[in-house]
Amino acid sequence: MALKQALPRVTAEGSESQITPQKMPFLARLWRDAPLLVMVAPAAIVLLLFTYIPLLGSVVAWMDYVPFLGFTGSDWVGWDNFTALFSDQAFWSAVWNTLQITFLQLLLFFPVPILLAVLLNTVAVPMAKNFVQSVIYLPHFLSWVIIIALFQQVLGGAGVVNRFLITHGLTPFEVMSNPDTFKLLLTTQAIWKDAGWGTIIFLAAIAAIDPGLYESATMDGAGAWRRFWHITLPGMRPIIVLLLILRLGDSLTVGFEQILLQRDAVGPGSAEVLDTFVYYNGVVDGSWGTATAAGLIKGVVSLFLVLAANKIAHRFGEEGVYKR
Amino acid sequence: MEIRNRSGFAASDEGLSRRNLLRSAGLAAALIPLSGVLAACGSDSGGGGAAAPAAAKGVPLPTYVPPVKPKALLEGSAEGVMDVYASFPMDGPRTVNGTIGDGSDFNVLIMTYGQPSPPVDQSPYWQLLNKELNLNVIPHQVPYADFQTKFPALVAGDDLPEFVSVPLYENVARLPQLAEAQFTDLSEFLSGDAVKKYPNLAGIQKAGWLNGYLNGRIYGVPKSDPVFSTQIYTKTDVIKAAGANPQPTNLQEFKDLAKAVTNAQAGVYAFGGNIADFMMMMFGVPNKWTRKADGTFVSAWEHEAFIPAMSELADLYKSGCFHPDTPTLMTNKVQRDALFRSGKLAMLYDGNRSVGIVADDKDVVFDIMVPFGKDGGNAVHWTGGGAYAMTMIKKTTDKKRIDMFLRVLDYIAAPFGSRESFIMSYGVEGVDYEVKDGVAVLTTRGQREQDLGLAYIAGGPQVLCDPQGAPGVDKLNHDWQQKVVPMLLDNPAAHLYSETFNAKGASLQQQMQDAVTAVFLGREPASGLTAAVQKWKTGGGDKMAKEYAEAAAHAG
Amino acid sequence: MSNPGRPVWLGKPKPVAVALKALALVLISAVVIFPFLVVVSTSLATKKQIDANGGYVLWPTQISFEAYHQIFNGTQVARSIVISVGVTVVGTAFSLFCTVLAAYGLSRRGSLFQRGLLSFVLLTLLFGPGMIPVYLMVKQLGMLDSYWSLIIPGAVSAFNIVIVRGFIQGIPKELFDAARIDGAGEWRILRSIVLPLSKAVIAVVGLFLAVGYWNNYFSPLLYLNDTQKWPLQLVMRTFVLQNNVTSTAHAIPGYVAPPAQSVQMALVAIATLPILCVYPFLTKHMSKGMLTGAVKG
């Protein structure tokens, strides 16, 4: 059954088969793990230089930062930037919109690349499979301006569909500027643009599954559905969980550019998300403090979400992002 | 999808909120100028801000000495009507004498509205200017839409070049303080009659200078802008086919026109964008602020005609004479223009410079609608900020350097018809332009080399001259301008300093734009604007009014 | 078997399932190709047709290469493509180097400082610095106006490290244990086990990175003052934005009319094609069966 363990997933037993490290003296561990530390070094240095040290600049969240006065010359304003955000009802409305969109995308968008990858995996004609694989991520490269314009050309008030309805005496429908369905529209656009792009990583996960497993499962009489359920899905599960947790951590971030372009059409009531709110209430005024404060708030919220999601993943025996 | 959000951006940044946001902000800045008509006036006063609270009485503005100009085909006027010329005189008089530069490097931050300039060794135009100015011009080009992103970084890193041209249609945050901290006070060289040493700069009018007049001192030399803000273009063939009158004289006729041209079956509609500003001007709503006799300032949002105008706008939208895709077309100028050119929109409301873009397609026959009051008579026409860019020099006490800087700008600001102006506009004969029938015609290469952008950093009144454009368009525009002059209305707060406006003006303006858009598209009743205005007032509008009143009293 | 790609164990497919699948694939392909077809068609169409269609064309009635001619005639587009390719290749290589090393270095639970370093990496997923502090750092390191400013500051993404690490952790422990018993050091394990078995994920992350470098206009905008060094995306941006100019036009002598929609679409096509060519090279690393091969070898 060596093959069974060749599954590309981390099992709890697998990880504990390590030498128990805590028993070793520090110097011995250092000697043993020095190569690993050297390997991490380049990435760690880059992160230190271009993320951690610049992160010190986040003090401007407590400042009325003015670029020409610099960090030392700008005034300290305490928690003003934070309270200004928290006390604005529009801020909470934007947060609520953001969470709704995130939820919709988790529900409707997140599974699509997984299903697409599985579907592609079952295509046995190499030509067809290669072709679809090579074109499926095309829309990812088009800007939102183009994607939205094309949506409008098809579904807009004067779009192909509505023109057809009008000429056949049917009632046209309003999609592009309907605040009630706007979040669904956003999700649909996002699926169109990026679902194909998203399949790539799942295809890689499937590629890592040993075909021998399918072979022996078929020998044992497993049908397509059972093969999917017992081999393909478990093989993809770690990466699915990983991406799910990371997406959850990013709950307060949804497509800024996509929404900014369509915000006027449906109004801030349903289209204002956290990032556009910060843009219109901080960035346009050159208020760096507000924008930085919002970034920090998002970071803290993400931290909690990731920790919580990770914990839940552990309950289900998954590795998640991070495991003690 | 997180894959895009994270890894797609991974190379440029860690996909993290803050930088993503700002990165997209650059993009957003690009979109805003075209996001409907409100934008046309939304940022114009952004560059303003004069007398700071503590400043002493300001210095006098530069004395205006009208430039010597060639005989125009159609004469303009001091009120702002632009001169029309059939072609650019090729043998104009010199307006700048002597050597200008000292052979040194001239590092200048320039907005680029086109592509990056070809390098100097491949650009005879640039070489010619280097020779003319006796300088080594080194442009630091920033795509104009990304100015708001790059400029703060340059400021924070103390990386601004010696000379800096800033756009005034963008809200440069805390410009007066920035000027005071980092740029040279040019008052001594430019105030009053001192400017006469630089005759071409003396040919710049007051409306332009006010933009560089900060804290009561002169910091910047402007590139002047026409006083007119927006126009409605009417597509002659479409309106004719509908048997309608392209020049209404009151609201009712305007509505009749809109209804007559709309033909949903054929996919033809009157408009494809927000015309809120046009309606406000038709209803006589003032240009952002009114200064009352007692010196207090009242915002246009509080004017009694504002809500009725918006109510009419909403009715017009509801009546179905706007293109069904208007909500998305508002932010897509490219498509709007295409629909107008192809006759799917009978009218196009846009910034006055769009006449060039409309006229670019010579097959498009159009007219420009003269504004009218709702009950007949005159509308008001809001003026713009007077300049779209101004150029400053970093803080220095080197008077020779300052003098050289001003001499360079004096050259660049040479008026239409002068030798210098011709060189700035046309470059080297045989390379950048060719002479056909006695008229200079820019070559493709010449157009490319113009991307150097140096011509756009300083200058006086512009003229209408487009020998290669559609015939008759300049005259059309000229006639329109003459009719609009009596309607011109300034913003009394345009060049006054308000700390609140400086810090929160853009976001407050956005709030009102959102409210207006909601009414326009029928999401909110017009009566809801009362609450929006109240929110705007308590959010900072009242403070702005107070600060403007103080600043105006101070300025006298 | 008529179909060589079909493994024997799969058995004979049901006709209905095949038909449904084929239909799904055709639909998906149509949906994803459609926007790109519009882009290419519009780039080849005449202005008249584009206007008549309201900005976009599905199929050009008359083919015109004018847009492409305009783009390459006397502009620095060709030059900027070379720069973009260079930055993308070097940047992807450098990023992959950092990412894969770090992913393996962080993959063994219980190694010295592993937890601390992993947190150090993961926290950057949540908190990001502002644009200005990063700019100041790039300046401090003397990277302004250098191509390195486009490569190094964004080279390391915690997301990519986490992904690669997840795949490495999926490699059977027996392989590592066996190698260690044979006396292999970490570097040899990396070379002989981790790298060959992680080809698929390295290919995927490499693609993410390459696309990221290719599409990046923000770093050059901030860090490169010398326009001659601009990569394609930034040069392209100046083309596209020109269309939106309402602030300076016409009244300025020498004003150049904005490029037509066809030029913009041609630019999109030009900017997308090179990066599309990368993908087919990656697919071969994503084929099945590598794992068994490696275990046996």
Euclidean distance between the first and the last CA atom of chain B, given in angstroms as a whole number = 58
CB pairs under 8 A between B and C: 247
Say whether residue C122 is in contact with chain B using an 8 A CB cutoff. no
**Residue B507 sits in the same domain as residue B457:** no
User: Which of B16, B18, B175 is the best mutation test for A, with the most CBs of A within 10 A?
Assistant: B18
- Which residue among C129, C186, C283 places its CB closest to the CB of A57? C129
In contact, B545 and B299? CB cutoff 8 Å = yes
Res B36 pLDDT > 50: no
**Residue B520 sits in the same domain as residue B548:** yes
**Residue B215 sits in the same domain as residue B249:** no
Give A113's contacts in chain B (Cβ within 8 Å).
1, 3
Res A19 pLDDT > 70: no
Has residue B310 been placed in a domain?
A: yes
**How high is the pLDDT of residue B19?**
28
Res B413 pLDDT > 70: yes
What pTM does this model have? 0.87
Determine, for residues A302 and C125 on separate chains, whether the beta-carbon distance falls below 8 Å: yes
- The pLDDT tens digits of the residues spanning C56-100 come to 888 888 888 888 888 887 778 889 999 999 999 999 999 999 999
The distance of C62 to chain B (nearest Cα, Å) reads 17
**Residue B280 sits in the same domain as residue B405:** no
Determine, for residues C125 and A246 on separate chains, whether the beta-carbon distance falls below 8 Å: yes
CATH architecture of A90-315: Orthogonal Bundle (1.10)
Lowest mean pLDDT among A225-234, C45-54, C226-235: C45-54
**How high is the pLDDT of residue A170?**
85
**Residue B222 sits in the same domain as residue B239:** no
State both tokens at B31: 């979109």
Say whether residue B321 is in contact with chain A using an 8 A CB cutoff. no
Residue intervals of chain C classified under CATH 1.10.3720.10 are: 73-296
**How high is the pLDDT of residue A73?**
86
pLDDT (mean) for B233-246: 94
What DSSP designation does B98 have?
S
In contact, A286 and B174? CB cutoff 8 Å = yes
User: Which of A284, A292, A300 is the best mutation test for B, with the most CBs of B within 10 A?
Assistant: A284
**Residue B427 sits in the same domain as residue B321:** no
What confidence tier does B95 reach under pLDDT thresholds 50, 70, 90? Answer: very high
- The pLDDT tens digits of the residues spanning A60-75 come to 999 988 888 888 888 8
Determine, for residues C174 and A2 on separate chains, whether the beta-carbon distance falls below 8 Å: yes
Fold of C73-296: MetI-like fold (1.10.3720)
- The pLDDT tens digits of the residues spanning B466-501 come to 887 778 888 999 999 999 999 999 999 988 888 899
* A124/A131 Cα distance (integer angstroms): 12
Say whether residue C288 is in contact with chain A using an 8 A CB cutoff. yes
Please identify which residue in the block is written with the tokens 């900005």: C55
What confidence tier does C47 reach under pLDDT thresholds 50, 70, 90? Answer: confident
Nearest CA in chain A to B36: A264
Give B159's contacts in chain C (Cβ within 8 Å).
139, 144
| One-letter amino acid for residue B310 of the chain | M
* A189/B48 Cα distance (integer angstroms): 41
**Residue B221 sits in the same domain as residue B241:** no
Give A257's contacts in chain C (Cβ within 8 Å).
none
Listed by start position, the domains of chain A span 26-78, 90-315
Give B503's contacts in chain A (Cβ within 8 Å).
285, 287
Integer CA distances (angstroms), B186 to B167, B218, B402, C266, in order: 19, 5, 8, 47
- Calculate the average pLDDT of chain B: 85
* B332/B338 Cα distance (integer angstroms): 10
**Residue B409 sits in the same domain as residue B423:** yes
Strands B105-112 and B163-167: parallel
Has residue B2 been placed in a domain?
A: no
Say whether residue A69 is in contact with chain C using an 8 A CB cutoff. no
Domain that holds residue B160: 105-227+386-464
The distance of B394 to chain C (nearest Cα, Å) reads 18
- CATH code for position B114: 3.40.190.10
Res B1 pLDDT > 70: no
The distance of A275 to chain C (nearest Cα, Å) reads 14
Say whether residue B152 is in contact with chain A using an 8 A CB cutoff. yes
Q: What percent of chain C has pLDDT over 70?
A: 85
Determine, for residues A156 and B328 on separate chains, whether the beta-carbon distance falls below 8 Å: yes
Determine, for residues C249 and B353 on separate chains, whether the beta-carbon distance falls below 8 Å: yes
Q: List the Cα angle A283/A288/A290 in 5-degree steps.
A: 80
> Residues of B numbered 176-195 whose beta carbons fall under 8 angstroms of chain A's beta carbons: which are they?
177-178, 181-182
**Residue B352 sits in the same domain as residue B447:** no
> Alpha helix (H) ranges present in chain C?
15-44, 47-52, 66-72, 77-105, 114-126, 131-140, 148-151, 158-169, 173-181, 186-189, 195-197, 199-215, 218-223, 232-242, 261-276, 278-283, 290-296
> Residues of A numbered 116-135 whose beta carbons fall under 8 angstroms of chain C's beta carbons: which are they?
116, 119, 122-126, 128-135
Torsion of CA A109, A114, A116, A121, to 10 degrees: 180
- The pLDDT tens digits of the residues spanning A148-177 come to 888 888 888 888 888 888 888 888 888 888
- The pLDDT tens digits of the residues spanning A265-320 come to 899 999 999 999 999 888 888 888 999 999 999 999 999 999 999 899 888 888 77
CB pairs under 8 A between A and C: 306
Nearest CA in chain B to A195: B1
Res C290 pLDDT > 70: no
